[in-house]
Structure 1
Amino acid sequence: MSVWGKLFSAVRGGINEAAESAADGQALRILDQEIRDAEGALRQARGDLAGIMATAKSLGRRVDEARLKDEKDLASARAAMAAGREDLARQLADRMSRNRADLARDEAELQRLQGSQAQMLRAVQDTETRIQTMRREVESVKANESLLKAQSAIASSHAGVNSRLGSAMESLERVKRRQEAVAGRLEAGAELQALQSGADLDRQLLEAGIGGNRSSSDDIFAEIARGDAPKSLPGGTGNPAIGYEPKS
């Protein structure tokens, strides 16, 4: 592959990575919006379910009342027949027929509502579970994303600190080398000055006991014991000590 081909592939790969990164960045926002939409639909479903449950309860009460009325009319019709009032029994039978027709219709409707209610209740519960699961996953992804960003920042900061520490150590070493060089030049200058003035040679002669007018305490004591005339002090005039008379 030519250099231009490799460069084009690299640029195209960078564009794809940027596009994927942008899409990944929007993914969490899209999921959040989808969860909000699902929660809105769930609230609507709960409202519809509450309406169905209220209608079913009302219809159930009506069915119970119709059953009680049918039982009461049946007992009354039997009592009318026992009393020889067939006409009353006939009227009760007509009312019971209409009541049972309404009762059958209401029972069928109640059964349908109860089936819808059970189906919608399962759907609502399943949707709630799915929303909770999705929200936990989104929160986990967000937490991981934040953790990765923090780790990346720490790694970058650590690398920067290491780089700065390396530069600081190099500067410290340069300062130490410069100080050593300056100290060496100062020491060499002092030695050169001593050699030029002869002070170093005098110091070495004195240390070797050669030359000079210094006398030890032992030398002075021996001089006193011998009765020698006092010596002139270095740089003095040679005057004798008090009470000394020169020989004739």
Structure 2
Amino acid sequence: MSVWGKLFSAVRGGINEAAESAADTQALRILDQEIRDADNALRKARSDLAGVMATAKALGRRVDEARAKDQKDLESARAAMAAGREDLARQLADRMSRNRADMARDEAELQRLQGAQSQMLRAVQDTETRIQTMRREVEGVKANESLLQAQSAIASSHAGVNSRLGSAMESLERVKKRQEAMAGRLEAGAELQALQSGSSLDQALLEAGIGGNRSSSDDIFAEITRGEAPKAISSEAPSVGITYRPKP
């Protein structure tokens, strides 16, 4: 196949797929329209059947009347023969002949109408059954379509919620990491400042009981009883000089 032939086949296939997709999309609407068309055809068939049945009934009554008339003329002809009136009997015979010819045509037409009536009645009944079956199938398809759409909407909503939750959790993790990083920088800055000022070393000495100017009330009272000079409050080392001694 040439390149142009393949291209034409591809285009034709795409057109067919688009047409089938459009038909599938409108499938329920098409089915509803087909059921309406079938209902209209069924109503027309019923009307035609009613007309055939009315004609058959009228023709049947005419045949019954012709049979009754033929039987009456037959009895009258026999009575005329018994009375010696052959002329009347022959006249009755002529009328019976015409009547029987008409009756034969009517009976043939009645049989034809009755056959057509039976066929139309079966067709109407079959059509009614098919329409009812199609209507039930369409209702089932509609219910299933609604269910599938609901499930699809729920699935899409669930997927959207999961996506949003995933994004929110990622944002939360980023916030936590940013907070941890900020807390770490603040702690590192505090430690660096403590090292620069020496406060950390002083704090460690105080906790070890070394240095400092803290004195208990007992230490101060002992100094008073011994007559010693009060200790300097300053944290600096005491200078070397003259020691004050109280007079005896």
Is this a same-fold pair by TM over 0.5?
Answer: yes
Cross-structure match for 1:193: 193
Cross-structure match for 1:241: none
Cross-structure match for 2:110: 110
Give, in angstroms, the shift of residue 56 of structure 1.
Answer: 0.4
The 3-state SS of whatever aligns with 1:211 is coil
Question: Cα gap change, 1:183/1:14 in structure 2, threshold over 3 Å: closer, same or farther?
Answer: farther
Question: Cα gap change, 1:13/1:102 in structure 2, threshold over 3 Å: closer, same or farther?
Answer: closer
- The equivalences for 1:64-143 within 5 A come to 64-81=64-81, 88-137=88-137, 140=140
Give, in angstroms, the shift of residue 82 of structure 1.
Answer: 5.2
1:166-219 deviations in Å (ceiling 9; x for gaps):
3333222222111111000101111122222222222111110112233446x4
Q: How many Å separate the matches in 1 of 2:32 and 2:111?
A: 39
Q: How many Å separate the matches in 1 of 2:77 and 2:201?
A: 155
Q: Return the letter of the residue paired with 1:195.
A: L
Cross-structure match for 1:212: 212
Give, in angstroms, the shift of residue 58 of structure 1.
Answer: 0.9
Return 180-189 or 81-90, whichever deviates more. 81-90
Whether the 8 Å contact between 2:213 and 2:233 is mirrored in structure 1 is no
Q: Does 1:16 align with 2:7?
A: no
Q: How many Å separate the matches in 1 of 2:155 and 2:94?
A: 90
Cross-structure match for 1:171: 171
Q: How many Å separate the matches in 2 of 1:86 and 1:230?
A: 188
Q: How many Å separate the matches in 2 of 1:203 and 1:110?
A: 128
Q: Return the letter of the residue paired with 2:65.
A: E
Q: Return the letter of the residue paired with 1:122.
A: R
1:88-117 deviations in Å (ceiling 9; x for gaps):
555444433333332222111111100011
Question: Cα gap change, 1:181/1:63 in structure 2, threshold over 3 Å: closer, same or farther?
Answer: same
Q: How many Å separate the matches in 2 of 1:13 and 1:176?
A: 55
The 3-state SS of whatever aligns with 2:169 is helix
Structure 1 gap ranges (5+):
237-245
Q: How many Å separate the matches in 2 of 1:143 and 1:42?
A: 26
Equivalenced residue count is 229
Identity in percent: 76
Give, in angstroms, the shift of residue 234 of structure 1.
Answer: 6.8
The 3-state SS of whatever aligns with 2:212 is coil
Q: How many Å separate the matches in 2 of 1:174 and 1:231?
A: 63
Question: Cα gap change, 1:92/1:118 in structure 2, threshold over 3 Å: closer, same or farther?
Answer: same
Q: How many Å separate the matches in 1 of 2:131 and 2:77?
A: 58
Q: How many Å separate the matches in 2 of 1:24 and 1:228?
A: 112
Q: How many Å separate the matches in 1 of 2:73 and 2:208?
A: 151
Q: How many Å separate the matches in 1 of 2:55 and 2:228?
A: 145
Q: Does 1:203 align with 2:203?
A: yes
Q: How many Å separate the matches in 1 of 2:21 and 2:136?
A: 18
Q: Return the letter of the residue paired with 1:101.
A: A
RMSD: 4.0
